[in-house]
Amino acid sequence: MKNPTKKPKWVVEKEQGKKAEAAQTLWLFGLHAVRDALLNPKREKLRLITTLNARAKLEDAIVASGMEPEMADPRKFPAVIDPGSVHQGAVLEVRSLDWGDLESLAMGDGVHAPRLILLDRVTDPHNVGAILRSAEVFGARAVIAPRHHSAPETGALAKTASGALERQPYVQVRNLSDAIVQLQGMGYLVLGLDGEAEQTIEAAMEGRRDRAVALVLGAEGPGLRAKTRETCDALVKIRYFSGFGSLNVSNAAAVALYASQAEG
Task: For 20-47, write each residue's pLDDT tens digit.
Answer: 344 579 999 999 999 999 999 999 999 9
Domain spanning 102-259, CATH class: alpha beta
161-202 pLDDT, tens digit per residue, is: 989 999 999 999 999 999 999 999 999 999 999 988 999 999
- Quote the pLDDT of residue 20: 39
Q: Where are the domains of the chain?
A: 9-95, 102-259
Q: Of 1-15, 22-36, 95-109, where does mean pLDDT reach its minimum?
A: 1-15
Write down the pLDDT at residue 24.
76
- Mean pLDDT of the residues in the chain: 89
Predicted pLDDT of residue 8: 58
Least confident residue range of 151-160, 211-220, 229-238, 255-264: 255-264
Higher pLDDT, 232 or 245: 232
Instruction: For residue range 141-154, list pLDDT tens digits in order.
Output: 999 999 998 999 99
Mean pLDDT score, 253-262: 94
Please report which confidence band the pLDDT of residue 13 belongs to, taking 50, 70 and 90 as the band edges.
very low
Among 44-53, 80-89, 152-161, 245-254, the minimum mean pLDDT is found in 80-89
Q: What is the CATH number of domain 9-95?
A: 3.30.1330.30
% helix / strand / coil in the chain, to the nearest 5? 40, 20, 40
Which of 110-119, 208-217, 239-248 is predicted least confidently? 239-248
Query: How much is the pLDDT for 16?
Result: 41
